[in-house]
Structure 1
Amino acid sequence: MDHYIQLRMAFSNVDEEEEIHTTIGELANHLCCTMRNMNLIMNKFMDHGWIRWSPQRGRGKTSVLVFCHSLLQAVQERFDRLLQSNRLEEAYALASAMPFSMREILMQGLQGQFGLRSDHGTQGRVDTLRIPQETAFETLDPTRAYMWGEVGIVAQVFDRLVQYNAERQVCEPSLAVAWESNPEGTEWTFYLHKGILFHHGRMLDAEDVRYTFERIISDQVNPCKSLFGSIHHIETFDELTVRFVLRFPNFMFPDLMSSMNASILPRDVEFDPMYPIGTGPYRLTRNHPKLLVLEVFPSYFRGRAFIDRVEIWQLSQTGRVESAIKQDLFPDGQARLIQHEVQGGVFMTFNMRKEGPQQDLYFRQAVQQLMDPQEMMGALAHTGVQAAYSLVRDKSKEKQMLERIGSKPTALSADSSLVRASELLQRSCYAGQIVNVWVEEGEKMETDMAWFAQRCALIGLKVSVTPGNPVDAVYHDEFASYDVIYTGEVFDEHVTLSLLTMYTFHNTLFLMALDDERKSELEREFRHVVMIQDSAERFRTLMSLEERLIQEALLLPTYSFREEHAHHVSLQDYRVVAYGMPDLRRLWVKRSPNTEEDTASYPAYIPLW
């Protein structure tokens, strides 16, 4: 079958039942084999009824070949056999080599392989969770990783000194069993659990903690250096006690220790950003461009996770229809739906590192009027989204702002934002030049920018919209030449820490677009916030900072969104945590007593990264 597909691809412009005049030598060249082997292969093809072959003898004479079996049929049969044999990587490679239209058909078949698969073999039962994703991994270094999927992997491979309990909204022990500070908040001492193992077999100690943070604060270009800029030096008293001496009071220090950026590394292994070693419930055993594999770490100090293996597959994003995939996964309707309200949201900002009209406040305010969230939601039929005036899901605040907007004179309500945008644009320094807009690629956000471009045309603002890959934007400075940026930010459960991270972690798209002077101003704000002892007051201060950024039209929130997960009823304790992943530390499968097969599948639909 592989030979037939290879030969049929060589004549992909030829229809079935169409005569091809060729020689056995030419065919052998296509399959890189001898003419003797080619004759044997042709006989096999004829035995299967895939071809008709009329060989001609004599120099210069051509034979007649007719394909009877279509390429799509052949590839589909081979693809299905690979799936049945659990050879997903080979199936994916086969689909990737096919023409676009055929590849999309095959990829939909591949989707049915995702979810949890429970196998009984010689070594007992093995439960494997397969997850599709569409954003390539650039780094798994916890001090640099920014993309949603990358941080999800970091969360499984590493632990931190502290963990944040979102339900109780408090910091709780993790690698550290306890901690304390002096009254001034300038010295913090952490006491480590005994017997915690790294994935390579050595026990964690205080020197690993010191190494982790000295690696950050000694590197001038580390993107999370500002987040831990309060650290002056680190002391270890014994193998289980470590003290941080700070430059200024920091009453959020335990919260910072719960950040993914604060994941603890082993000091005795040269760090590999694509094959990191941690203490987490899963260890990374494979990282191929098409497949990343996490295997359960049996010696995990909090107890072995239930799921034995997690496979994350890189899939082509082109033309995928997720609703159809989800429907195909659950033909019998045996699914439970979970609504995950994502903290953070979609926003527009400006490249303040580049000269252009965006440096003018009136220009930014004109764009702010054009990007009116209510008008966008009214014009576009987006599902699962809600107009937002903040990146924090605070219904009361949104309601107040909506009421304030709703109090405008009704005579201007229909076109007021366009009229105001036109007035502000005329007051600005805009001189008719084309404004380049970078938008994070994806159907929904590209639709937003098509609507925005139409609004711009109505007031004489010329824009050119270019979709871009956020991986390239973050790690390769893709949007340096653009004036306007349209993207999104996803927070974890600790909203206050997420806001601080957005304003201090230099790999966030918001900060990458900000000029150095404003970055320094945000760092000063950061110092002020962490010196506040009351957590409610810290949050209010950060919300005031966000409001100032919105008033200066540097941050233009548009909408928040939710995701819908669906999973088979046999998957128990399915809870969605930050970054859209099910909580692998809690997930387990209740296999039915009536299951007789050695293999059982439990579909799960996890929105693609």
Structure 2
Amino acid sequence: MEHDMIQYLQLYERLNKEHESDYTCSVTIAELADLLCCTPRNVKLIIRRLETHGWIVWQPGRGRGNSSRLQFLCSNGDMLEERIQHLLHRDKVKEALDLVSVFEGDEHVRERLSQRINIYLGLHQEREESSRQDVLRMVRYRPLGKLDTVLVFSAFEIFLMRHIFDTLVAYDSKTEQFIPKLAHLWECSDAGTAWTFYLRKGIRFHDGRLLTSHDVLATLERVKHRGENINWLYRDIENIELYDDYAFTFRLKRPNTMFLHLLSNINMAIVPAHEQAEEITINGTGPFRVSELNTSKMSLTAFDGYYGYRPILDRVDVWFLPQQGGSTRSYRMLTGTDEEETEQSNSRQLTQPALGGRYLLFNMRLPGVQHDIHFRRAIRLLYDRQTMQEELQGDRTSPAGSFLPWKSAQQTFARHSLEEAREQLAASSYNGETLILSFTYKREDRLEAEWIQQRAAAIGLHLELEAQEDRLLGGHIVLAVEVLEDDWEWDLINFFSNEVNHLHCLLDKEQLQVLHTMLYDVMRHERAEREHILEQMERKLQEEHWLLLGNHINQRAYFNRSLSGLHLDSFGFPNLSTMWIRDTFFITDKNTKM
């Protein structure tokens, strides 16, 4: 069937170049043999099969070598749609998306083909007699990063890992309190240097092994020896004293007011003691286990042995297709009735303000005019936050003077003209050279980069745009996004200290030393003083124009209307453990006459 479709499309594209409906042409068997690169005998077999499918009408010519009449009954769009459906039935999502990406026909046909794939994706029910399997299918347009607890830092990988692994405690952003997870109870000494934890009994890893205090000890050792970028955060932990398989005490060198924040971070998710090598297998205690993993697909299956509430979803399939380049998050399901409903009518959009936003960062590791304060001031002036929000709109919600929206709301933002930016550029050492502005392939990032490029050109600054797939972008100027987790205070500290993010890879050693000096003792202070230190660090970045904040943003996702239990995390991703399909059942009174 698949091969027949390919051969039909080959003939259609070669013989019906204008894509006319019900197109009829004169052609010989020999010509078809050349087009299909096969023998005349095989051509006759192919024609017979295409006739059987009802795709063509064939009227053979009389006599050897005479032309025959070939009528195409299916448009290329219809045939591509059927082929895509055939591929999806065999779970070949990548091949189906590849067909859409290379299609050069009518845009409405392309949208229809894309819609066919979108119907396949989303939340599906696979019925098995009296039971059913609820399956969520998602597509990511970036490659999957490392799922390693001590190396992860990107939002989507953190989102996945929080469903695969668990920590001792968790932070509840609504109450701003910590709640039990793997540990059901903890106690702190009066001096604040000893924290004793009690594990729940009977918790199992996905491979069936029981969780014990030895796994906690080995996890900490791995953080200290393998987490070169984060281990300084855990420097106050002197050792762990084990009492038995379920009770242990962390001994600290000095009091640490953020100790529970440290333990709730994904970097301290507990992994098995026997898997503490450089490369761990993805074996956690979370509500989902990894059942399939390769470069293009990852499947998460509900862990029946989970110590908490088992997820209602049975499986989550994630396809990684970076070459397709999309960005919309869509979570839909097959309705079984009207498959051609549009996304707007069949879906509802959920928006959630994100903590953080977009920003520009100068690459101080490269030589160039970006080291000149007048140049950086010129960029600050042309990167006008209010003008950008009004002209671009999109997911932009408000000007950012801090990563925290409520702090930005307390500030006023003056408008700046391009003439002011031109004056600062003239005062700098800029000499007409072309600079690289790098950004990701996300649509909103590209729009913002193009907006900056146009305004730069208006003042005589030449910027070349460079979209990059790498998680850490390179260029003279970098457009990036930072979204903080619900435990924003901890995540902001992590942003300033993590050595594998944009900030640490683009600022020079002297600048980083300034930040590290300000941050060094932050975890010894109470919350008010910690917030003051973080405010000073943000102010330092902006006063020196090392980092230029843009706008706060909204996280947007589209969900099928039959989906219930939707709870978005701080990154705008849904909690997979609580999602489910609300069926429509016809309930009648006993006295109702049918």
Report deviation, 1:333.
4.5
Superposed CA deviations along residues 91-112 of structure 1, whole A, max 9, x for unmatched, are: 5523424533366642222112
The counterpart of 2:310, out of the listed 304, 311, 322, is 304
1:400 maps to what in 2?
410
Q: Is the 8 A contact 1:135 1:149 kept in 2?
A: no
Q: Is the 8 A contact 2:136 2:331 kept in 1?
A: no
1:485 maps to what in 2?
478
Q: How does 1:513-524 map to 2 (within 5 A)?
A: 513-524=506-517
Report deviation, 1:18.
4.2
1:257 maps to what in 2?
263
Q: Identity percentage over the alignment? A: 26
The counterpart of 1:43, out of the listed 42, 48, 64, is 48
Residues 27 and 308 of structure 1: is their aligned pair in 2 closer, same or farther, counting only changes over 3 Å? farther
The counterpart of 2:184, out of the listed 172, 177, 187, is 177
Q: Is the 8 A contact 1:82 1:90 kept in 2?
A: yes
| AA in 2 matched with 1:586 | T
Question: Quick one: distance in 1 between partners of 2:330 and 2:164?
Answer: 32
Q: Is the 8 A contact 1:24 1:35 kept in 2?
A: no
| AA in 2 matched with 1:446 | R
| AA in 2 matched with 1:555 | L
Question: Quick one: distance in 1 between partners of 2:483 and 2:287?
Answer: 24
2:471 maps to what in 1?
473
| AA in 1 matched with 2:545 | A
Report deviation, 1:187.
4.0
**Alignment RMSD, CA only?**
3.4
Secondary structure, counterpart of 1:507 in structure 2: coil
Report deviation, 1:531.
0.8
Report deviation, 1:146.
2.6
Question: Quick one: distance in 2 between partners of 1:435 and 1:4?
Answer: 51
Q: Does 1:109 align with 2:113?
A: no
The counterpart of 1:503, out of the listed 478, 496, 503, is 496
Question: Quick one: distance in 2 between partners of 1:387 and 1:140?
Answer: 34
Q: Is the 8 A contact 2:395 2:555 kept in 1?
A: no
Q: How does 1:219-368 map to 2 (within 5 A)?
A: 219=226, 222-269=228-275, 276-315=282-321, 333=345, 336-368=348-380
Question: Quick one: distance in 2 between partners of 1:210 and 1:65?
Answer: 78
Residues 309 and 204 of structure 1: is their aligned pair in 2 closer, same or farther, counting only changes over 3 Å? same
Question: Quick one: distance in 1 between partners of 2:346 and 2:319?
Answer: 24
Report deviation, 1:159.
0.5
Using the TM superposition, name which of 584-593 and 343-352 deviates more. 584-593
Number of aligned residue pairs: give it.
568
1:561 maps to what in 2?
553
Question: Quick one: distance in 1 between partners of 2:348 and 2:183?
Answer: 36
Report deviation, 1:322.
5.5
Question: Quick one: distance in 2 between partners of 1:39 and 1:198?
Answer: 59
Q: Is the 8 A contact 1:156 1:280 kept in 2?
A: yes
| AA in 1 matched with 2:471 | A
Question: Quick one: distance in 2 between partners of 1:324 and 1:210?
Answer: 40
Superposed CA deviations along residues 107-161 of structure 1, whole A, max 9, x for unmatched, are: 2221123332233304722212222322221211122223322121111111111
Question: Quick one: distance in 1 between partners of 2:311 and 2:55?
Answer: 51
TM-score (norm 2): 0.85
| AA in 1 matched with 2:411 | M
Q: Is the 8 A contact 1:227 1:505 kept in 2?
A: no
| AA in 2 matched with 1:72 | G
Question: Quick one: distance in 2 between partners of 1:104 and 1:271?
Answer: 47
| AA in 2 matched with 1:473 | R
- Between the two structures, name the one with larger relative contact order (CA 8 Å, sep ≥ 6): 1
Report deviation, 1:179.
2.7
The counterpart of 2:195, out of the listed 188, 192, 195, is 188
Question: Quick one: distance in 1 between partners of 2:250 and 2:66?
Answer: 82
Question: Quick one: distance in 2 between partners of 1:112 and 1:237?
Answer: 54
Report deviation, 1:205.
1.2
Structure 1, unpaired ranges of 5+: 407-412, 596-609
2:204 maps to what in 1?
197
Superposed CA deviations along residues 311-339 of structure 1, whole A, max 9, x for unmatched, are: 22335675869699999656794655433
Q: Does 1:77 align with 2:82?
A: yes
Q: Is the 8 A contact 1:393 1:560 kept in 2?
A: yes
Question: Quick one: distance in 1 between partners of 2:86 and 2:118?
Answer: 15
Report deviation, 1:586.
2.4
Using the TM superposition, name which of 19-28 and 557-566 deviates more. 19-28
| AA in 1 matched with 2:211 | L
Structure 2, unpaired ranges of 5+: 17-22, 333-338, 588-594
Question: Quick one: distance in 1 between partners of 2:291 and 2:562?
Answer: 27
Superposed CA deviations along residues 520-563 of structure 1, whole A, max 9, x for unmatched, are: 4433333321111x223322321221122111111211011113
Q: Is the 8 A contact 2:331 2:558 kept in 1?
A: no
Q: Is the 8 A contact 1:7 1:30 kept in 2?
A: no
Question: Quick one: distance in 2 between partners of 1:20 and 1:387?
Answer: 65
Question: Quick one: distance in 2 between partners of 1:2 and 1:67?
Answer: 20
Q: Is the 8 A contact 2:236 2:252 kept in 1?
A: yes
Report deviation, 1:44.
1.8
1:550 maps to what in 2?
542
Q: Does 1:214 align with 2:224?
A: no
Q: Is the 8 A contact 2:373 2:544 kept in 1?
A: yes
Report deviation, 1:22.
5.5
Q: Is the 8 A contact 2:328 2:557 kept in 1?
A: no
Secondary structure, counterpart of 1:579 in structure 2: coil
Q: Does 1:135 align with 2:147?
A: no
Question: Quick one: distance in 2 between partners of 1:352 and 1:175?
Answer: 43
Secondary structure, counterpart of 1:493 in structure 2: coil
Residues 164 and 370 of structure 1: is their aligned pair in 2 closer, same or farther, counting only changes over 3 Å? same
Question: Quick one: distance in 2 between partners of 1:434 and 1:248?
Answer: 51
Q: How does 1:571-586 map to 2 (within 5 A)?
A: 571-586=563-578
Q: Is the 8 A contact 2:218 2:276 kept in 1?
A: no
Question: Quick one: distance in 1 between partners of 2:129 and 2:276?
Answer: 36
Question: Quick one: distance in 1 between partners of 2:9 and 2:533?
Answer: 63
1:607 maps to what in 2?
none
Residues 531 and 132 of structure 1: is their aligned pair in 2 closer, same or farther, counting only changes over 3 Å? same
1:386 maps to what in 2?
398
1:89 maps to what in 2?
91
Report deviation, 1:65.
7.9
